[in-house]
Structure 1
Amino acid sequence: MKKVRIEEAVGMVLGHEVVRITPGEGGVLPFQRGYVVREEDIPRFLEIGKEHIYVVEGDEPDIHENEAALRIARATVGEGLRVDGGRGGGARLKAGATGVLKINVPLLDEINGLGDFAIGTRHNWTACREGESVAMVKIMPLYVPEAKLLSVENLCRDKGRILDVLPFRIQKAGAVITGSEVYKGRITDRFADVLARKVEPFGVSLAHAIIVPDDVEAIARAISELHAAGCEVIFACSGMSVDPDDVTMDGIRASGADVIMEGVPMMPSAILGLAMLRNVPVLGTPAGVLRGGVTALDGVLPMIFAGMKPRVADIIAMGHGGFCLEKYAF
């Protein structure tokens, strides 16, 4: 590649794309890589501020930015993703299914540390719809050494892909509504309606809701009934607070479920409980969910509805970004 003044470039081969940016309209490509510059093109180059350009000089030993972006993108994508682009030194990674984005964060960091390119993604365990962009590869120089691209491809072959989109699989949920005040009719339950609205966007129906008193055996029995009825996720709803009458987690344990965590590093509703009854997640769901807005429950639902068993390490990592805001404004 050689840098030349545009007036001296007539008859030479353009070595890069030239983009014209118009405010409010985005960018267009009036000149593509490989274009042979003509005398009449000079005013157009100057109008978009291109007094100098890079031209191809002999055989190019390295890989052009567009091809490099595609190679890195294809090396990093796993299940449920497709690659779109290879223009302007960039490539977008789009969800091939509606599901949850799963990212190998240590490998992402390692590859981003190699230099000459960058991979930016959405947050790990983010819900996404089919066709949405979830990541982008951007090449910094016009050409990248072949050896560096091979390093990325070898890392992804040896350590796995960076990104997967796991499709939502759960269809049927059930809820155990605890509280003697609800069971005895002193107040009307609100949990079932709130949960039904939360799960519906994931294609999940709240098929059953059982109201029980604050009693360990009653809670355990209701959880077992929902499990037997084929519920793929079970919500055990209560105050989940420091309350002598609240025995929800005891009831979850009494059902035979294995408790994974009691409390998560996300707020509000950090007292969320996570357990597994054989292959079915049981979520101790705190009353804070009733207030509306984004809570810790929303943080774990995409993972749960993709059929993933919650791992302690994954939940702990959610503390970074775990202070939930109903909306962001500055």
Structure 2
Amino acid sequence: MEYVNLGKTGLKVSRIAMGGHEYLQDGRSRGFNEDREKSLTPGALFDGFGGENRKAVLKTAYENGINFFEVTQDSEKEALGRNLRECPPPYEVYIQTRPERMAYSYDKYNLGMADLNKLRTEVQRILKLMQIERLDFLNCPPMKWAFDHDPDYLDKLGYNLDQLKKEGLLRYAAADTFSGEEIYRKMIESGVFDVIYVNFNFGDHTPMETLKLAKEKGMGVVTREVYMKGDLFKMAKQAGIEDTVSLAEAAMRWQLTCAPVDMVVYGTGKVRNLQTACRALEKPFSAQDEALLEKIRGTEMFKVYEERRRDEFAGKLARMDLLFIDDSQRTYTTI
């Protein structure tokens, strides 16, 4: 495993991080696609998270040197905390998660994160749920409506995060949003955040200049959706590519070759897929890799995906899935 300095945090992190999603038989993520409301209700846990299969994936992450873990809903939080006790890592690991029911469009105007008492109570709740003493990274994902509603929103959020750090509840904060470039740049320029967390891959490459800005400001750059939430492999069928293992490695190498990118958060429910992702680091990005990606770029599915993501990041499209509390089945509207 390769390791990099994550911005100015002083932490050395693995180039690949482990996401916390668990999956249904049809490949969709658990929780969100079982009961949307329950998956976003603080304290509501689904049965079966953190079972033997997940522990096998976790052990494989250890074997490959992964030292950063990102979780979202409470079922993932609780399972990771429990699994880390059941299967202690052989080295120090770092955890990132988000405040429940305060992120994205799940909380109107993202008022919860701007309220110190509410945010403190939520972080304390997370620590108790996971049975850890301090959270390494709190992912803070406000939407544009928070800034439109309150011009002082970032100042309030920055103050709150600083207080939680002083109180020993939190080490670092991540900037995240689905409101596109304008909001990401405001968050970067604010100096409030230690890292940026953003969708990015060879089909969703418009954020590149934003990632460079974050790097110039001394922030760590953490990316996700390297395989486009599985759409990459649907494109492979359209392109007539049968060797999806080589395609997966090529996509991962492309992402990790991009200069601003420090780390890729990758989720899977299969040990062999995680091994494939980690194996991508063993070779440099090659002409063969580029040839595979070029075949994908030639498909109609890719062209639609690329245009949609470009418009989305520019603020021309709104992610309506977030308004309906569904992070996997997307619909869009022109605004």
What TM-score results when the alignment is normalised by the length of structure 1?
Answer: 0.26
Larger helix proportion of the pair: 2
Larger strand proportion of the pair: 1
Q: Higher RCO, 1 or 2 (CA under 8 Å, sep at least 6)?
A: 2
What TM-score results when the alignment is normalised by the length of structure 2?
Answer: 0.26
